[in-house]
Amino acid sequence: MLCARRLGSLGAGVAALRPGRAGRCSHGARGRARGVSTSWSPVGAAFNVKPQGHRLDLFGERGGLFGVPELCAPEGFRIAQEEALRKTEQLVERVCSIPPGMQTVLIFDELSDALCRVADLADFVKIAHPEPSFRMAAEEACRSIGTMVEKLNTNVELYQSLQKLLADKKLVESLDAETRRVAELFMFDFEISGIHLDEEKRRRAVDLNVEILDLSSTFLMGANFPNKIEKRLLPEHISRSFARDGEHVVIDGLHAEAPDDLVREAAYKIFLYPNVGQLKCLEQLLSSRDLLAKLVGYSTFSHRALQGTIAQNPETVMQFLEKLSDKLSQRTIKDFEMMRGMKMKLNPQNSELMPWDPPYYSGVIRAERYNIEPSLYCPFFSLGACMEGLNILFNKLLGISLYAEQPAKGEVWSEDVRKLAVVHDSEGLLGYIYCDFFQRAGKPHQDCHFTIRGGRLKADGDYQLPVVVLMLSLPHSSRNSPTLLTPGMMENLFHEMGHAMHSMLGRTRYQHVTGTRCPTDFAEVPSILMEYFSSDYRVINQFARHYQTGQRLPRHMVSRLCESKKVCAAADMQLQVFYATLDQIYHGRHPLRKSTTDILKETQEQFYGLPYVPNTIWSHFYPGPSSDCSPPTYASYVVGITGMHS
Q: Is 115 in contact with 84 (CB distance < 8 Å)?
A: yes
User: What's at 499, amino acid-wise?
Assistant: H
Cross-sheet strand order for the sheet of 467-474:
14-17, 4-8, 448-453, 467-474, 428-438, 418-424, 400-405
Phi-psi region of 116 (alpha: psi -120 to 50; beta: other; left: phi over 0): alpha
Looking only at the bridges linking them, the beta strands covering 428-438 and 467-474 are parallel
The DSSP-derived string for 202-229 is HHHHHHHHHHHHHHHHHHHHHHTPPEEE
Q: What angle do CA 548, 387, 505 make, to 5 degrees?
A: 170
Phi, psi of 564 (to 5 degrees): -65, -25
Question: Residue 344 and residue 364: Cα distance in Å, rounded?
Answer: 13
**Planar angle of CA 375, 381, 385, nearest 5 degrees:** 160
What does the longest C-alpha to C-alpha distance in the chain come to? 79
| Cβ 69 vs Cβ 83: under 8 Å | no
Q: What is the C-alpha separation between 468 and 501, in angstroms, rounded?
A: 10
Nearest to 554 by CA among 379, 386, 396: 379
DSSP 72-131: GSTTHHHHHHHHHHHHHHHHHHHHTTSPSSHHHHHHHHHHHHHHHHHHHHHHHHHHH-S-
Alpha helices in 129-227 (DSSP H): 132-152, 156-167, 169-174, 177-192, 199-223
Exposed, middle or buried, 6 (CB in 10 Å: 0-12/13-18/19+)?
buried
Residue 64 CA to residue 523 CA, distance in Å, equals 30
∠ Cα 106 146 198 (to 5°): 85
> What single DSSP character describes residue 16?
E
CA 625 to chain CA mean position, Å: 14
- For 5, the 3-state DSSP assignment is strand
Annotated active-site positions, please? 496
- Cα dist. 370→281, 472, 562, 610 in Å? 45, 28, 10, 26
Listed as own residue / partner, the contacts of 336-345 with beta carbons closer than 8 Å and 24 or more positions apart are 336/571, 336/609, 336/610, 338/365, 338/567, 338/568, 339/365, 339/568, 339/571, 342/368, 343/261
User: Cα(593)–Cα(195) distance, rounded to whole angstroms?
Assistant: 31
Q: If you ran DSSP here, which 8-state letter would residue 382 be given? A: B
Q: Which residues contact 209 (CB under 8 A, 6 or more apart)?
A: 18, 146, 150, 153, 193, 292
